[in-house]
């Protein structure tokens, strides 16, 4: 079972990908993790990717797909995998599709975790972090006992730059421009399934399991 997770930043697709991987005993593959592993191990592909990243450039789609195919060719992927964070654009999806077809393979499901923008802005801008001990909170869902103070170590809680409403809004704009078209792409391939990501985490997971069977 080969699954691609789609959804805006903060929609919770990463959490769902991990839960799917645990339930179906298949690897959860994040492109960021594969890049880091290849660079750490000094592989040929990792060194190529590092050249681009060191210059502040995006790793080209062909190289990203090459690194990804190298990962999914490993033994632990023989029963399937969950891709998280890739593809992000139509050209990436096209390259992935062509390369998988050459291998006589294909993606079985593209799961779209759908959450309206305003929910995501509220969800992410409510996050607070303790820079001293790493504890995280949410002003609505997991508030600290004392406002603005970490329960664990008493340090001041901060809102990370990434979680500020304007930053979240910018990331959502990029998502809608680049990644949203993948919804149509996979709809046309008749493998897209959308779940309501505003529900409780476990309910979202149950909905995904009923799709995957």
Residues classed as catalytic: 13, 88, 127, 160, 171
How many Cα atoms occupy the beta-carbon half-sphere of 127 within 13 Å?
19
> Where do the DSSP E strands lie in 52-163?
81-84, 109-114, 127-130, 136-138, 157-158
Q: How far apart are CA 70 and CA 177, in angstroms?
A: 29
Here the tokens at position 78 are 């023989």
- The DSSP 8-state label assigned to residue 180 in this structure reads T
φ, ψ dihedrals at 137, nearest 5°: -135, 170
Sheet holding 157-158, edge to edge: 136-138, 127-130, 157-158
- Measured from the Cβ of residue 39, the count of other Cβ atoms closer than 10 Å reads 16
Q: How far apart are CA 56 and CA 33, in angstroms?
A: 18
């Amino acid at each position: 079972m080969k699954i691609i997770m789609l959804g805006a930043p903060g929609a919770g697709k990463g959490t769902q990908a991990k839960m799917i991987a645990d339930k179906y005993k298949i690897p959860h593959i994040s492109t960021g993790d594969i890049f880091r592993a290849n660079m750490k191990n000094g592989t040929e592909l990792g060194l190529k990717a590092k050249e681009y990243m060191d210059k502040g450039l995006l790793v080209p789609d062909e190289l990203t797909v090459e690194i990804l195919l190298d990962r999914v060719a490993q033994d632990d992927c023989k029963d399937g995998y969950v891709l998280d964070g890739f593809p992000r654009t139509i050209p990436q999806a096209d390259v992935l599709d062509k390369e998988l077809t050459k291998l006589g393979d294909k993606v079985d499901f593209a799961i779209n975790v759908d959450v309206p923008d305003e929910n995501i802005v509220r969800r992410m801008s409510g996050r607070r972090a303790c820079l001293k001990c790493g504890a995280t909170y949410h002003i609505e869902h997991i508030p600290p006992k004392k406002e603005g103070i970490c329960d664990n170590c008493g340090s001041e809680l901060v809102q990370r730059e990434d979680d500020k409403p304007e930053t979240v809004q910018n990331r959502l704009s990029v998502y809608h421009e680049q990644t949203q078209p993948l919804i149509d792409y996979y709809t046309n391939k008749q493998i897209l399934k959308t779940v309501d990501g505003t529900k409780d985490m476990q309910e979202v997971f149950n909905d995904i399991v009923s799709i995957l069977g």
